[in-house]
Amino acid sequence: MAFIAGVTAAAIGAITVAVIVLAQRSIVDLLTALMALVTIGLIWKVKKLPEPALVALAAIIGLVAFPSMHP
């Protein structure tokens, strides 16, 4: 049982570090910071929210907010 607890703790640590590294590289302006905060809030409050819907919504916001980034 202790082995399972240790593996779980190690996995949680690895995922946490990955989230921190990705966030530091991705959140570079006010819009992305706001999107991150709204996403965290939605995930926290709406338990049945499908993650692909969040990804699609973020993609649409990105395409509208940054028209010079896509051809």
pLDDT digits (tens, 9 = 90+) for 10-69: 999 999 999 999 999 999 989 889 999 999 999 899 989 899 999 999 899 988 888 876
**Number of domains forming the structure of the chain:** 1
Which domain does 24 fall in, by range? 2-69
Question: Any idea what DSSP says for residue 69?
Answer: G
Pair 31, 65: CB distance under 8 Å: yes
The H or E element containing residue 15 is helix 2-26
Structure confidence at residue 71 as a pLDDT band (50, 70, 90): low
**pLDDT number for residue 65:** 86
Which of 3, 71, 58, 4 has the alpha carbon at shortest distance from 31?
Answer: 58
Which of 35, 27, 43 has the alpha carbon at shortest distance from 64?
Answer: 35
Which of 31, 12, 69, 2 has the alpha carbon at shortest distance from 39?
Answer: 31
